[in-house]
Amino acid sequence: MSTNWYVHHQNQMEWYPSQEAALDAVDLCVASYENGIWSDKNSYLSLGHADGVTVDNSLFRHRYSPNALTPSCVSSIFTIDIFIKNKEDWIFKYGSDLLQQSLRAGYDCNDGYLAERLARDYPGFKINDRKYTKVDTPSARCLHACLEYEHAHCSAYQENYYITIDNYLGKHQLIKSIDNCTEIAPVELPVLDISDKADWILEHGSNLLQQSLMAGYNCHDRYLQERLVRDYPGFTIAPGKCKKVDSPSESCLYTCLGYENSYCSSYNNNYYITIDGFLGKYQLIKLIGTHDRAFDRNTDIEQMKLVDSSSLINSVLTPMSLTKIISIGAISGALMYATIEYIPKIFQAIVSHI
């Protein structure tokens, strides 16, 4: 049996023995799109015949509204807009009476269909035309709020956080504000293939960091923060490249020697222990505070003691005049003579009176 009828969708071509069989396949594609199996922005598929056999328009139009068909320049090929076909099915199955009557009257009903379907599929969400970007690492509250919705992630705008769903009906971004009342509950997440960063996170990271990674977030910021605290406590990432000083003070020199491959840098009259190449590209700094300068203070005290001792020695060894020397010698001699001459007599007198 010849299988020259084809359905082309998402760069795939399937072959069928008849136009009816091909249309059945089209219906399956539409159902798959409606159920979220396909969520790409390409909402079109085409039907045709390899040998150029003309499509039976009456059979085609029996199944689909003329609004869903787009004839190509080749008479044997028709294109079906899944979004329009899906819209019609949804409206007649779930839409309000007004929406159904409007569609029958020939109105496009795109806005009404979108509003009613959004309220049914994702109550509390709204369409976001600004397209907020996914946050790097969510808070625990945001992470657990987004896990309640399939294919959702956390985005942020002006310090507000949102549950975010991309490509709703193939092109819309939906958002819902994450309020402070969101309940946090423990969740089980699948284990993903891991990289070097993920290895560290799964071995050393916090529970929140591990859950964020397994939920598909980049997690670079919190990974960097937690790893820095673990590997180099007290250090921060330098906002700009600090330059190595020409000649460190004694305290700076010995403080930096306590860390491998570190050196002293300076900025705005402050001095830092500095480590280059953290995780291959970051410069880490830690302020050398007053407590690190205790060595200098002790050294200063010792130097002061040495200065005082030197002053005393210098004062003793300062050259004196001959008159000062003779005067000092005369006084010393008189004291020695008085001690030898009178002290024994005084002592003897005291003993005789007892």
Averaged pLDDT for residues 9-33: 79
> Who's near 13: CB < 8 A, 6+ residues apart?
6, 7
What is the band of 308 on the pLDDT scale with cuts at 50, 70, 90?
A: very low
The confidence score (pLDDT) of residue 155 equals 94
Q: Which of 45, 51, 48 is nearest to 28 (CA)?
A: 45
| 3-state SS class at 82 | helix
Beta bridge partners of 323: none
Classify each residue of 210-226 as buried b or exposed e, where b means 16 or more C-beta atoms within 10 Å of its C-beta.
Answer: bbbbbbebebeebbbeb
The confidence score (pLDDT) of residue 125 equals 94
Averaged pLDDT for residues 54-82: 60
> Who's near 185: CB < 8 A, 6+ residues apart?
144
Tokens read off for 309: 């001792």
Tokens read off for 324: 């000062």
The confidence score (pLDDT) of residue 251 equals 87
Q: How far apart are CA 163 and CA 178, in angstroms?
A: 6
What is the band of 287 on the pLDDT scale with cuts at 50, 70, 90?
A: very high
The confidence score (pLDDT) of residue 334 equals 61
CA distances from 180 to 137, 162, 175 (A): 18, 12, 16
What is the band of 300 on the pLDDT scale with cuts at 50, 70, 90?
A: very low
Averaged pLDDT for residues 298-318: 44
CB atoms inside a 10 Å sphere around CB 25: 19
* pLDDT, mean over the chain: 75
